[in-house]
Every structure is written in C-alpha cells, then in structure tokens.
Amino acid sequence: MTSPPQNTTPAGHAEPARAPHPAARPVSRRPVHLGLVLAVLATSVFLSALDVFIVNVALAPIGQGVGETSLSKLSWILNGYAIVYAALLVPAGRLTDRFGGRTGFLLGLAVFTAASVGVAASGDLWVLVALRFLQAAGAAVLTPASLGLVLTTAPPARLTRYIQIWAASGSLAAAAGPVVGGLLVQVAWQWIFLLNLPIGVAALVLAARLLPHGRPSGDARMPDLLGGALLAVAIGSLALGLVQAPAWGWGAAPTLGSFALTAVALVLCLLRSARHAVPVVDLRLLRNPVFAWAGVATLLFYAAFAVQLLGLTLWLQQEWHWSAIGTGLGVAPGPAMVFVASAAGRRLARRLPVGVVAALGAALVAAGTAWLALAADGHLDYATDILPGWLVAGVGVGLALPTLISSATADLPKDKASTGSAVVTMAGQVGNVIGVSVLVVLLAAGAPGRAAHTFSHAWWTSVGIVALSALAALGVTPRRKAAVPDPGNVAG
C-alpha cells in the first residue's frame, strides 16, 4: 500500500499531462521489439515506485547513518520527494510532449539514476534531502514519458493489456519494497539507493537501443514552470510549518511566517493558473463536480494512508524494536493485498456506481485502521492486533485508490483526460506530504512514556480523515454513463 503507488500504489505515478498525439507514433525504421520495450518502461517505473517504499522502511537506519534522530527532520526524506514530484508532474508531462517521449524518458531515468548514487554517497541529511529533490525531478519526467511511450508503441489490440502491465509494476513495487528494503539495510542503508544504479544503467542502455524515435506532439507551448515552483513553495512551507510548530511554538513568528508563505504562494499559483495558457493546474477542470470530488477524496485518502503506513513502520521499529527486515516483512502483507483487491474493484465497478466502490474501499481502510487504534492501548500482538486490520486496510486501498484516480476523468473531455489524471495524482502527493507532517506533529505532542496512547491517537486521526475521504468519494460517480474505469490506466 502506498504513499507513491496506484493500479496504483500508495506513493504515486500519473498519466502524462497530455495524451500523445497520433502524430507522435514512432517513426523509427528499425524493427521495435515491443516486449522488451514494455519491459524497460515497466522496470523503470518499478524502480521509482520501489524507492518510495524502501525509504519508508529504512527511515530509521538512514537517520542513524547520517547522525540524525529527529523525526521532524527525517520526514523531509519522504516529504521532499513528494513535494517536488507533485509540483513537477504536470509541467514535466507537458515538456515530454514538447520534446518527445524518448528524450524525456532517457533524461528522466538518467537523472533519477545519477541522483540515487548521490543520495547513497551523502553523509549529511540535508545534502541527502537535496538529492532526493533531484530524484523526484527525474521521476516526474520519467513517469509520464514512460506511459506516453507505452501508448505510442503498443499494438492497438494489446493497448489495454500493455497499460495494465505498466501500471501493475507500481503495485509490485509496493509489495516488494518493504521486504527488499529490509534485506538491503542489513548490509548498509546506502544499498537501498545503489540498487538503482545497475538496473538504471541497464535500462538506459536498452532504452537507447530499443525506443523508437518519434515526433513530439502538436502542442509546442511551454508549461508554467513558475507556477510549478510556486506550488512547491506552498506545499513545502506548509509542511515546514507543521513539522516545526511543536519546536518553534504554534504562535511563533517562524511558524506563522511559514503558513503565511503557504497562503501567498498558493494564491499566486492559482492566479497564474487562471491566466497561463498551459497552467500547472487547469482551474476549468474544477468546474466538473466528479473531477473536483475525486481530487478532494484522493488528497484526503493519501493523507490518511501516510499517517497509517508511516505510523505502523515507526511503531514496529521504535516500540517493538524490530529490525528493518522484520519491519519489512510485517508491513508487506498490506501492500500485497492492493494488487489482489484492485482486480476485485474492476469487477465491482461493473455492478455498482464507482463512487460507491471507492467509498467502500475507504470505509475498509477506516475499519482496518480502527482495529489498530483500538488495540494500541493494550498489549499488542502482531498476529491478532495488527495483521487483520492491516490486511483489511490493504483490501480497502486496492478498491479505493485505483477507482478514485481512474474515475476522476470519466466526465472530462478526452483532450483533458490526461491532464486531469495528472492533477488528481498531484493532489494525492500533496495529501501524502500533509499526512506525514500531521503524524510528526502528533508524535511530537505525545506524552513521554505513553507511546501506545500516542500512536492510537494518530491512527484514530487517520480513521477520521479517511472517513471524510469516503464521503467525498460518493461524489465521484459520473453523471453520465461511461465506460467502466480501468485502474490499469493509472500509475500512481
């Protein structure tokens, strides 16, 4: 289950900001080995999703390695990635349209791989966070470019199947990430990032040889990069104010200044989006109620899930003193259920309104999290007090998240569908940042010696947020009859 991933996974990927124009079909005269092309594209997306889940489990070992124990500071390893990814996703999709999917894919993968090596070599927390920014920038270019290439290289008869395989790579990363991270940390925390080097280089070599050259799409307009920067400032200053407020004081000047900067940057971003020809957020999309409710529900869902996932990871490591590999094995069953439940969600969506399916999934996440919260005040046993709730929550994520993201564009014009999907996924990443920040605040406010009560409070907070998401999800059912949304069309 993720904070990035979406056949999707809780860490997230998205469709490109614009659907590839028919003119962007490959023009290379060399025979294209389509199976290998798909494998390279899916593997690269798998890497970027895997990185999110590995870092969740390895947060404490990384902190030990860089000499930092403060959760408020370590949270920037997660938040920094999500902030940059959210802010650059739509502009990056537009840029890949402008310069071509092959160029965007190679550039994004190269930046992601190189930044991974830099992160592994970092001995300072803030250098590491800065390089995580660079990783996120690479992933923001890589993800829409890879999906665009799937769309333009897949045989028409196999298009849906190719998209499903591409999207499933994110779910596979969600299930494998905790265990892989736990195993690699046994050697050294740096290996969770160095793993990207051999796979990334191999993918680059194959991509350079196999990916067809294609014409960029017809839209040559530059995206609103300044608007993206303003969005990053707004999200980052909000996270800064939240995580530092317990130390600074809620009424202190730095805290109030952070929140004021959030408001100013957000207003400026919205003003630019209202006037720019290629905005980071197309405000006209918000007039569509299905799209608007999907964005709200997705943001709340990600916020609740971030509290739940990171909270469980920290509980296992800090309170039970489980090793990284033990924590990975303990966390893995939940994400593993996402892949299974998403298939059930597709079948349910043929019989029930999609809003009901998404709301049902969110309700299951609330029930699973409530199970953890109720047990947390007592003597916890993993098999009876954690695993059942975690499995139920995993099923809920598999039902809700793919349905929310794939249904968001059902009522939009076809030429707005890809941009709409990217914006909703961006909302999810913003929710992830808020959720991590809220958890940091709740844990910092907990009374010493009452860890069980503190974590219980955090999980009850998650229950409340995801319940609101379930209510918002009811508005996601399209007003007009549309094709059953296919979660395979989503990456995160």
Render the burial of 232-263: b for 16+ CB within 10 Å, e for the rest: bbbbbbbbbbbbbbbebeeeeeebeebbebbe
Question: Residue 321 burial by CB count (10 A; 0-12/13-18/19+): exposed, middle or buried?
Answer: exposed
Both 200 and 318 in one domain: the answer is yes
* Domains contained in the chain, number: 2
Rounded-to-integer distance, Cα 79 and Cα 246, Å: 18
Residue 362 lies in a domain: yes
What does the pLDDT read at residue 462?
Answer: 96
Integer angstrom CA distances of residue 11 from 48, 78, 172, 284, 386: 9, 10, 12, 27, 22
What does the pLDDT read at residue 247?
Answer: 83
Integer angstrom CA distances of residue 186 from 66, 74, 180, 182: 16, 20, 10, 7
Residue 12 lies in a domain: no
Both 253 and 319 in one domain: the answer is no
Pick the last residue of a domain from 277, 301, 317.
Answer: 277
What does the pLDDT read at residue 255?
Answer: 93
Both 327 and 420 in one domain: the answer is yes
Residue 4 lies in a domain: no
What does the pLDDT read at residue 243?
Answer: 87
Closest CA to 475 of 342, 358, 395: 358
Both 110 and 247 in one domain: the answer is no
Q: Where in the sequence is the domain holding 234, given as residue range(s)?
A: 224-277
Residue 20 lies in a domain: no
Q: Output the six-digit token pair for 371.
A: 């199970």
Both 259 and 121 in one domain: the answer is no
Would you write out the chain's pLDDT as a tens digit for each of its 492 residues? 444 444 443 333 444 444 444 434 444 444 457 888 888 988 888 888 888 778 888 888 999 999 998 898 999 999 999 898 888 888 887 777 777 788 889 999 999 999 999 999 998 999 999 999 999 999 988 888 887 788 788 888 877 678 767 877 776 777 788 888 888 988 899 999 999 999 999 999 999 988 877 665 555 677 888 988 898 899 999 989 988 888 899 999 999 999 999 999 999 999 998 998 888 788 888 888 988 999 999 999 999 999 999 999 999 988 888 988 899 899 889 888 887 887 787 788 788 898 999 999 999 999 999 999 988 766 678 998 899 999 999 999 989 988 887 777 777 776 676 677 778 878 888 898 999 999 999 998 887 878 888 999 999 999 999 999 999 999 988 765 544 444 333 434
What does the pLDDT read at residue 480?
Answer: 55
Both 352 and 320 in one domain: the answer is yes
Q: Which domain CATH number covers 377? A: 1.20.1250.20
Both 273 and 315 in one domain: the answer is no
Residue 48 lies in a domain: yes
Both 139 and 95 in one domain: the answer is yes
What does the pLDDT read at residue 54?
Answer: 84
Both 214 and 247 in one domain: the answer is no
